[in-house]
Amino acid sequence: MKLLLDIQDDKASFIVEMLKNFKYVKAKPLTAYKSEVLEGLKEGIDEMQLIKQGKLKGISAKELLDEL
């Protein structure tokens, strides 16, 4: 199982060191770029779920291409 944790910067080193002490846990911090990419993906997935539920209106592929 993989988990993504959002930890305050001043507490992160303590948590990472604590997790490294468990033989069955692999802990490696994400770079700022990877963190931003994952957050963007999560927002996109959440938005897609809202569109499927009818709570948000999507745009057509033509409208998307016209914006480019």
**pLDDT one-digit tens code per residue, 18-60:** 998 999 998 888 888 998 999 999 999 999 999 999 999 988 8
pLDDT at residue 30, rounded to an integer: 86
pLDDT at residue 2, rounded to an integer: 86
Residue 47: CB partners within 8 Å, gap ≥ 6? 56
pLDDT at residue 47, rounded to an integer: 94
Residue 56: CB partners within 8 Å, gap ≥ 6? 47, 50
pLDDT at residue 27, rounded to an integer: 84
- From CA 5, how far away is CA 12, in angstroms rounded? 10
pLDDT at residue 53, rounded to an integer: 95
Give this prediction's pTM. 0.60
